[in-house]
Structure 1
Amino acid sequence: MVNKLIQYLQGDQNAPGERKLVQKLDFFILTFCCLMYFLNYLDRTNLNNAYVSGMKEDLNFHGNQLNQINTVFTVGYTVGQVPCNIALYYIKPRIFFPTCMVVWAGLTMATAGAHSPGDIMAIRFFQAIFEASTFVGTHYILGSWYTEKELGKRSGIFTSSGLAGTMIGGFIQTGIHKSMNGRHGLTGWRWLFIIDGIITLPVAIYGYLLFPDTPRNTNAPYLTAEEKALAISRVPEVSERTPISWSFLRHCFSTWYWYFFTVLWIIAGETESFSTNALLALYMKSHPTKTYTVSQNNNYPTGVPAVGILSTLFWATLTDFLSGKRYLVGYWIGITGVITSALILAYPNNTSVHFGAYYWAGSVYACQATFFAWANDVLRYEEDSLRAVVIASMNMGSNAVNAWWSILFYGANFAPQFTRGMWAMIAVSIAMAMWTGLLVWMHVRTEKRREIEAITTVSEKEDGIPGMNEKAPVEGVSENV
């Protein structure tokens, strides 16, 4: 299995020593980042698993309090996006990522002691701020180390690790509920949070010891001096400026990158609403005619992230193979969102149709890897600080909208039909296809301008080299203009 994964990742490296370098990067960067994101999503989504496994009754949840807690988490997650990515500019990732993990692990374990929905709400807000570092921070790191031909597959594997956390979380809760429910006076859902926090700590220690930071500041003991130089040469050299200054902020807001990619991910984030709001689990919990067991409530929804993993790896690989045509996923999302919503609206009482539509909707998760890889591709020739802020702003904008969008359209009190949400999904899916086309146009226009500027620069340099043209230098004018 490991050999097949290595063969899947390798193949685009041609420079002497490049294959060995990338193998090392894949091992140390991907193992840590994937484990970090797996545990991140495990902590995050196990709230829903706990909710359907006794927490609702034990803490006397009512109405849409679960959605309110998720909204508070989203607010904290939104607040943390840009500061966390800017922090990576000042604090080495080898220190920053693991420290965030230790804090959120402690808060996860603290959730086991909650006595009311309000307790969980307060804990989740601060937990979200520290978890905000994982997703956008990793995409920034991947874009710092990998080339355009390598980035899609690595982004896909990273994103899939989070979906695996969503999928496996249900099975873990089922096992804990069966084996530990009532042990030492604690219910199964409380043990879930304790165990989640404990298993996070060894990964944080691994990060402190072996994460390689970025190419220009790495001190990783497993990279030779030649490999460090090669790593720097693989990515474009760009100008830099501090991200905390008025001139930098003016620069950010004067580019189209910030606006277009932020709106792209705002729309894309809402096309994931069926999955991120655990609608299948809520549908089962509120089914008008069927009663599902705790095991069924935890296990059946795992099919959604399973589809998401397959879709993510498929589209990440395909877009790498097609030289970075990440925009294709935007059109797939548009088709998927319209059809799945229409099916649920057309067959409101058909359980099989609902299950099938929710599973299919899981394929929309592919946009996470491809759209952030797209942003990294487009911003590859811009300064790192701008790339970091744009990537963080994408997730910040999406979560800012999702903070109220989920309550307005996908509150637990709308289960099991979520009619309002189905119409909202149709609208954002159409918007997704349209915005994708507009962003492609902007990207093509920028690439053409960059090519013209490069040709002009080369021409000017050639004109300034003695012997490259027949004209004698003009008196008083430097030859090296």
Structure 2
Amino acid sequence: MSSASGQGSLQAPGWQARYRFSGILQGVVFRNLNGVGGRSGWRWLFIIDGIITLPIAFYGFLVFPDLPQTTRAFYLSEEERTLAYERLDEKPEHGHGKRAFSWAAVRRVFTSWRWYACTLLFGISGETECIGSNNIMGQWMKAIGGFTVEQIDFYPSGLTSVAIASTLVCATVTDRTQVRWPVLVYMSVACIISAICLLVWKAPVGLKFFAFYLSGASYAGQATTFAWANQICSNDDFERAIVLASMNVCNGAINAWWSLVFYPATDAPRFRKGMIAMICVCVATLGITWVVYTLERREWRRGLKQIQKDRKLEEDGSRIEETKGEHLEKQAQGPNV
């Protein structure tokens, strides 16, 4: 498993597991602590969240290793630190190593297709997660009735389980094939099917459960999209840092208003606008995926042609040097008598 995809495939399920843990924790707190000490369940939940968060914050502060060039992590041996550093290709022509900020570097990033394509890809594809991130399943269960508070907290965890499984499987497969685009196709098609099923309000309850759980496939694209961007920008550390940060910023900027417009509380529990928007987002994701794939292939072919051209020039240069050497050798021998 490659470093970029491997780390992403482990981090993303961790982010997703928090939603599953959160739902289970809410159910357990409500069942056991609601009314205890005169406090309602949601108040106890905030107290427990605070107790959990502080140790994790200290853990992160003490354990995160920093950069390979500057790490002082106590759990890494000198050999491991050296290995981590030597794995970085420091050749300037490859764009690696420390680089000072310059307007030339900024111009290089913003005149390339990579920044625009990768940023737009995650900015749009990230909105396929809205069914899970807005807890639409929980709101639907509460609206139709027949479910206890604990069930409303527990059952949506199945969506998170699908998300974790999809992320791990897709990351493993794409690492072996080094082909990223099929994951985005898979999650887009899955979310289109899910949205269509949820648009049909009178569909059977079992079909609705299937649709909600299937929408968990949307989370598979997160790790893969960042791995793809890492792969595309692998020859330029400065560009890669800008692109990855911009992908997060773009998605966050869209998230700030997307749910307010397409998933307002007044639309619960049907969210008709949201389901139509979901289908549109998935179609847009398929289109942008095709654009990124096409541009990457074009750049790869150009690079391959340049390598072949450079190799031919080297071979021609070697031949010329060899011919010169033979000519000088004949001159040194003098004329034949």
Name 2:235's counterpart in structure 1. 381
Q: Distance in 1 between matches of 2:157 and 2:75?
A: 38
The yes-or-no answer on 1:425 pairing with 2:278 is: yes
2:113 to 256, 266, 281: 256
State the aligned residue count. Answer: 320
Cα drift, residue 163 of structure 1? 0.9
Decide whether aligned partners of structure 1 residues 251 and 198 sit closer, same or farther in structure 2, where only a CA change above 3 A counts.
farther
Name 1:241's counterpart in structure 2. 99
**TM-score normalised according to structure 2 size:** 0.86
Larger CA Rg, structure 1 vs 2: 2
Cα drift, residue 382 of structure 1? 0.9
Q: How does 1:352-431 map to 2 (within 5 A)?
A: 352-383=206-237, 385-431=238-284
Q: Distance in 1 between matches of 2:311 and 2:84?
A: 26
CA contact (8 A) 2:201 2:270 kept: no
The yes-or-no answer on 1:181 pairing with 2:34 is: yes
Name 2:59's counterpart in structure 1. 206
Cα drift, residue 159 of structure 1? 0.5
**TM-score normalised according to structure 1 size:** 0.61
Cα drift, residue 204 of structure 1? 2.6
Decide whether aligned partners of structure 1 residues 455 and 152 sit closer, same or farther in structure 2, where only a CA change above 3 A counts.
same
Aligned letter for 2:232? V
CA contact (8 A) 2:69 2:85 kept: yes
Q: How does 1:345-356 map to 2 (within 5 A)?
A: 345-356=199-210
Aligned letter for 2:161? A
Aligned letter for 2:191? G
SS in 2 for 1:325: coil
Cα drift, residue 351 of structure 1? 2.4
Name 1:313's counterpart in structure 2. 168
The yes-or-no answer on 1:326 pairing with 2:180 is: yes
Deviation sequence 1:93-120 (CA, Å, 0-9, x none):
xxxxxxxxxxxxxxxxxxxxxxxxxxxx
Decide whether aligned partners of structure 1 residues 189 and 360 sit closer, same or farther in structure 2, where only a CA change above 3 A counts.
same
The yes-or-no answer on 1:296 pairing with 2:296 is: no
Name 2:332's counterpart in structure 1. none
CA contact (8 A) 2:132 2:216 kept: yes
Q: How does 1:450-461 map to 2 (within 5 A)?
A: 450-455=303-308
In structure 2, the gaps of 5 or more residues are: 326-337
RMSD: 2.5
In structure 1, the gaps of 5 or more residues are: 1-11, 13-148, 473-481
SS in 2 for 1:272: helix
Name 2:133's counterpart in structure 1. 276
Query: Which is further off, 393-402 or 302-311?
Result: 393-402
CA contact (8 A) 2:197 2:203 kept: no
The yes-or-no answer on 1:341 pairing with 2:195 is: yes
Aligned letter for 2:222? Q
Q: Distance in 2 between matches of 1:202 and 1:170?
A: 21
Q: Distance in 1 between matches of 2:321 and 2:164?
A: 55
Decide whether aligned partners of structure 1 residues 286 and 232 sit closer, same or farther in structure 2, where only a CA change above 3 A counts.
same
